[in-house]
Amino acid sequence: MIKNVIFDLDGTLLDTREGIIESVRYTAQTLGYDELSYEKLLTFVGPPIQNSFITHYGCDVDTAQKAADIFRDYYKNKALFLAVPYDGIYELCENLQSCGIKMSVATYKREDYALTLLRHFYFDKYCTSMHGADNRNHLKKEDIIRICMSEMNATNEDCVLVGDTDNDAMGANNANTPFIAVTYGFGFKSKGDVEKYPYIGIACTPQEVFKIISGRS
């Protein structure tokens, strides 16, 4: 029985692509890097920003951290609120709350930025716990999931993570937490994208997330 739901943020609760892509472009320009295609820029949404710069620009760890600092400064001051809640996401939260299901957020976005964004869009009124990454990404996704689970008094049997990317699926698996994949975000686009990971459901919309959870609650 599902009593606790942990949401990812980017690509699950909020469409944050505009602010993140603008910030990546600014960072690349500042460091003298060529601009990437839009499709590659989209892959920066979700994973640790350092990892994405290493993957796409081949920079070393120190340069990747410099890029992360530039990115975060711009994102915080210029682009943080360039985000849109997904259609039906508030209805999903209301329905879960009315069923007595506790909610929290576990994101790779730096925690102070995540909290500001979640409060700005009023997700804090639904969530028992909200946690994100530290500045140098020492915390892994599974660590953040476990922190939320502890604060919710959740167990692996009564909890589920809802997310849109490989990182979410791997984090849930490493935390021994059931996983619901959403395909309306930035990562997974089809059932085939999800099938290499353990999952209990695939949702194309927030409404389908509720159907999966209510069917197991």
Q: What amino acid positions are annotated as catalytic residues? A: 8
* Residue for token pair 């502890």: 150
CA dist., res. 1 & res. 217, Å (int): 5
* Angle at CA of residue 169, ends 186 and 86, nearest 5°: 35
DSSP 8-state code for residue 138: -
CA 127 to chain centre: 15
CA distances (Å), origin 161, targets 26, 137, 197? 32, 20, 13
